[in-house]
Structures are given as C-alpha cells and as structure tokens.
Amino acid sequence: MKKFDVFDGHNDAVQSLVDYKPAGRDFLVRSETGHLDLPRALEGSLAGGLFALHARPERQPENDLTITSDGYEVTYTGTVDPDYARRPIDGQLSAMKALIGRSSGQMRFAMSVNDIEIARTENAIAVVLHMEGPKRSIRN
C-alpha cells in the first residue's frame, strides 16, 4: 500500500498538554490515554493539523440537554467575555510554544500552505492553531 500523509482537520490535544496543565500528558511521549501524541502521529503519517485553542464558558449552561424523538440536542453557551477568554488562550498558546520548543524540530508552527509543505519535506508536524468558539446547538 502506498503511504500518504494525513492532515487532521481538528484536534483538542492542547487542552491536555502537560505544558498547559500540570496533571496533563506529555505530547512527546507515547500514551494509551487520549487520541493523539507525537509518536503515534508520526507512525500514522500525520503531516499536521488544526490544534484547537478553546476557552470554556465561565458558567456551564443549565438545562442544556433536550431529548428528541430521534436523538438529542445540546444548547451551548453564548459569547465568552474576551478578557475572560484571554487567560486560557494565552496559557494554551504558551503551552504550544513550549511543546514545539521541546520537540527538537519534530513539530513547528505553520501559518501558510508553504509552511505546511516545508514541514512535510523536513518530516516535521505542521501545527496550525485555530480558535474554537462556542456553538449554538448540536443535534444528534
């Protein structure tokens, strides 16, 4: 079978980084916990991905689950206050910078298609950051 590169359209790895929270996981070490770490990413031919930065709402919504005849609907909170959101987002960005610094060149930030292509040719994982915002509703 011919090998092909994978680009992950969204992952929440940042939320569980030891660089972000002391009880987190070290992304550079193989783990049976979680859906992504560097050793498994390299084995799976991950060329890069969208790494989500996310600020959880200050207060969790109440009565946000509605059971329907064909599943359920979850209503999420509205807009998050920018001053409140800045703290966790800044922490997550710092964590990603620290992780990339510790990765010995195996990971790098990418801000363009060209950056992704360069990372691919150098066998590094391209990290594209994106902001995950509140959702209005999800239906199953």
pLDDT for the residue numbered 35: 86
> What is the chain's mean pLDDT, rounded?
87
pLDDT confidence of residue 38: 96
> Is residue 137 pLDDT above 70, yes or no?
no
Domain ranges of the chain: 6-56+63-139
- Please tell me the predicted confidence (pLDDT) of residue 68: 84
pLDDT in tens, 13-62: 999 999 999 899 999 999 988 889 999 999 999 999 999 998 877 766 66
The pLDDT assigned to 55 comes to 87
Superfamily of domain 6-56+63-139: Metal-dependent hydrolases (3.20.20.140)
How open is the CA angle 67-69-71, to the nearest 5 degrees?
Answer: 55
Per-residue pLDDT at 89: 94
78 pLDDT higher than 70: no
Q: What is the mean pLDDT of residues 95-114?
A: 97
Per-residue confidence (pLDDT) for residue 127, from 0 to 100: 98
Write down the pLDDT at residue 69.
Answer: 87
Q: What is the dihedral of CA 130, 131, 134, 135, to 10 degrees?
A: -20
Q: Write down the pTM of the prediction.
A: 0.80
Lowest mean pLDDT among 49-53, 67-71, 92-96, 133-137: 133-137
| pLDDT-based confidence at residue 80 (cuts at 50, 70, 90) | confident
